[in-house]
Structures are given as C-alpha cells and as structure tokens.
Amino acid sequence: MRQDHFYIPNFLNKSKNKHSMSFLIRKPQMEMNTLTSNINFKNENLYWILEKALIREQHTVVDPSLYNDWKIKNSKRSPKFDFILEIMEASSLNFHTGIKNKILKGSFLTIKIINLITTQTVGILRNNRIPCTSGCEFKYTECEIKSQIALPIKASYPKNFLSEGFSTNDIYEIVELMRSP
C-alpha cells in the first residue's frame, strides 16, 4: 500500500493534539456512478463506511441533512464541526499479469479535507494498493492457472497480496492515518 498524503501544518497539529474532531461528510455534486464506477459498493455505502471509520477513531460526524436544516434557521451562527471530508475517488484498478489473461485487482482512494471557515483544502489523503509489490508466483499450463501465491514481503516493501480490489479496509486505514501521517 502506498500513501501519498498532504497536510497543512495547522490540520496536522490539530489532528495530533485533539482527541476528537468533528466532521461533515460532503457528497460531491457528480453523477452517482462516476465515483464508484469500478467497485462493487454503492455510492451511499462509501459514505456510511467513512462515517463508521471516523466514529471508530473517536471522531464525531455531523449529519449533512440535519446540518442544512440547522444552517437555514441559524445563518449567522458558526457551524458545529471542524472540517469537511469529501471522497474524491474510490476505485479498483486492474493490473494485467501477462499470464493467461490473469488480472489482479488493486485499489485507489482519495479523500479531501476542507477547513470550512477558510474554505481551504487542509489535507488530501491517498491510499493506493498495488498487488504483487514483492512478487507473485504463478504455475500454469497452456489452458489454466494451476496455482498462485504472493511471495514473502521484501524489506521496506508494502503488504504483498494477489488480488483484493477496493474494500472497506481502504477507508478504515486512511482514517486511522489521519492522526499519524
């Protein structure tokens, strides 16, 4: 798994020093199938999984529809959350092995963190999983693949796996990393 994270120091300090932060999960204004075109989850499930992951890490999540109602009634008051989260991209990636048309699945996830007071992007979390980073071994005949194994992990390489595709663990891992980039 490769992570490419970007944080503004203000967010980084807050995430390390504050036990619990409050988030609003914003759904991007795009076609429902655009975000999840390559994965087996429905769009709504991604947001539900993100909400559960935040709660598991001791954060609070503000319901967007209740917040919108509150904001209409209290337009001059400050919001009751620290940051906005938005899932920008979540997809499975195909990696061709060149062996009997075998395709392995990896995944890509990007979440944007926005400071709602300054409207500044204060963080971008990326999680990119690539299969067989330490190598995989295939035994095959002309007609079929007989066996496949992920080889032992080489020093300083990420977890080695054959094929996972996008999973709920991608979201849980990225939320855990918000505190310790």
CATH architecture of 2-130+165-176: 2-Layer Sandwich (3.30)
Taking the C-alpha atoms of residue 118 and residue 122, their distance in angstroms, rounded to an integer, is 10
Residue 40 to residue 13: CA distance in whole angstroms: 36
Total-model pTM: 0.71
pLDDT tens for residues 54-79? 999 888 888 877 777 777 777 777 77
Q: Which of 36-40, 75-79, 154-158 has the highest mean pLDDT?
A: 75-79
DSSP 31: -
Structure tokens at 123: 């963080």
